[in-house]
Amino acid sequence: MAIEAKTKRWGNSIGFVIPVETVSRLNLRPEETITIEITKKHNVLKDLFGSLKFRKLTEQILREAREDLEGRWLKQKNA
């Protein structure tokens, strides 16, 4: 089971609080021994940056969007 928790300073150490939902679901009690697997959450956007390949250039996409918006504006103005 994976949970997300924020670390907090606890004296000279760092600790975290187990959410009450997880405590209830696992029926955890004080002083029990549990096993915790820790992984640092990383920024998914950094992994994705540059990995997507576009078939159109950014300038072409912007030009098409402007033309579409201008066309709609002109239709509304003339109606």
* pTM confidence score: 0.45
Q: Express as a percent the part of the chain with pLDDT over 70.
A: 91
- 8-18: pLDDT as tens digits: 999 999 998 89
Q: Is the pLDDT of residue 72 over 80?
A: no
CB burial readout 34-63, b (16+ within 10 A) else e? eeeeeeeeeeeeeeeeeeeeeeeeeeeeee
- 35-63: pLDDT as tens digits: 988 888 777 777 777 777 777 888 898 99
Q: Is the pLDDT of residue 31 over 80?
A: yes
Q: What is the mean pLDDT of the chain?
A: 84
Spans of all domains in the chain:
7-41+52-78
